[in-house]
Amino acid sequence: MRLTLSVLFMGMLLAIPAVVIADSAFERESQSQAAITGIGTEFLWPDDSRAADPEAALRILSEAAEATGSNVLRTSVGTSESGRKRIAHYVFMGRDGTGLFDEFTLADGRWLSPAESRLGSATVSSARTGEDGNVGVPAVFAGRYELTFAPLSQAYESLPVAGRYAVEAPDAAAADRFLTLVLQRLGEAGLDEISAEDLTPGGAQGSVHGNRGLMVLAYLLAGAAVLVVAFILLREGKRIGVLRLTGHSPMRIWYRVVGRLQIASVLIGLAACAVVALAVPGVDAWFLRALAVAWAEVAVAAFAATMVVGLVIVHRVQIADLIKGSLQ
């Protein structure tokens, strides 16, 4: 019975890092999909036939971007021809650089230059590795989805002009000026009835927010491990009583009965996370940070809870337990 309980306890603790790794992967995908929401001010391009010409829209957006030193961003989420999820970020840089690229890591190559974002066919894509015109490859954890960065002009090859954009401006005043210029140009195109409110998104952009149920599962596993530890110690009353009679401290007793197994499980879980970081392609600093934080939170909570419960039970042992063989 003790062997069965010990294997069950160790299995629960080893399952926790696997669950945490999966949760971190979902969170990284969520961040990849919703990156522009934390970088710029979102706005809507009106769904009107008078503003549906891609060339006119690109001209208006580029003029406003260059006049305010801003960047225009757009994200598309869909399915590629191979059936895999595809996340594409389109960018027009009206200044040098964009914070969008700071949210990701390159596995190879370089990011788009401002000139390439304005005109041209250059891309940074995990799906076009080695192809002509692909100047960089972004890191994607285990290649779970396709991630592409391309000039804004390429967005209109697969997307309508109408939709949600974001302006990455130097400050709030520049963002307001950008939207004012867009409104003026739309008015000149015949959309006199369009107001600033019409360019304001009505709600948050839909995105994957990770599978937070996985973290709930990780804590449930930690709670189950606490119960198993309690059961193991309750069945080891005779051994605990002998150790107490021979002068062992409660902490040392806990270590000899269940502590070594628990520490070994935690170290193996930590080693498993390290193996994933070294062996799985596409691991970047963001993923490692998310994994470290999530793993530390669950591991510390599980370790502290099992140790406290164990020490409480050890303190309960009476000499009579030497005869009974277990705690009552």
Pairing of strands 106-109, 123-125: unpaired
Helix (H) / strand (E) containing 325: none
Could you write out the DSSP letters of every residue in 221-252?
A: HHHHHHHHHHHHHHHTHHHHHHHHHTT--HHH
Is 95 in the same domain as 162? Answer: yes
- Tell me, yes or no, whether 39 and 188 share the same domain: yes
Residue where a domain stops, chosen among 199, 230, 257? 199
String of DSSP letters for 202-229: SSPPP-----THHHHHHHHHHHHHHHHH
Residue 86 burial (C-beta neighbours within 10 Å; 0-12, 13-18, 19+): buried
Q: Which of 146, 178, 199 is the last residue of a domain?
A: 199
Contact 146, 155 (CB under 8 A): no
The amino acid occupying position 188 is E
Instruction: Provide the pLDDT for residue 166.
Output: 97
User: Are 49 and 194 part of one and the same domain?
Assistant: yes
Q: Same domain, yes or no, for 259 and 317?
A: yes
pLDDT for res 238? 80
CA–CA dist 200, 44 (Å, integer): 6
Q: Is 183 a domain residue? A: yes
Q: Are residues 55 and 17 in the same domain?
A: no
Are 40 and 178 contained in the same domain?
A: yes
- The domain containing residue 10 runs over which residues? 2-28+210-324
Query: Could you list the pLDDT tens digit for every one of the 328 residues in the chain?
Result: 678 888 888 888 889 989 999 998 998 999 999 999 989 999 999 999 999 999 999 999 999 999 999 999 999 999 988 888 999 999 999 999 999 999 999 999 999 999 999 987 899 999 988 889 999 999 999 888 999 999 999 999 999 999 999 999 999 999 999 999 999 999 998 898 888 888 988 755 544 455 568 889 999 999 999 999 888 888 887 888 888 888 888 899 889 888 898 888 888 888 988 888 888 988 888 888 888 888 889 989 988 998 898 888 888 766 555 555 555 4
For residue 151, being part of any structural domain is answered with: yes
Given 153, 179, 199, the domain boundary residue is 199
Query: Each residue of 74-98: pLDDT tens digit?
Result: 999 999 888 889 999 999 999 999 9
Is residue 204, in this structure, part of any structural domain at all? no
> Residue 205: inside a domain, yes or no?
no
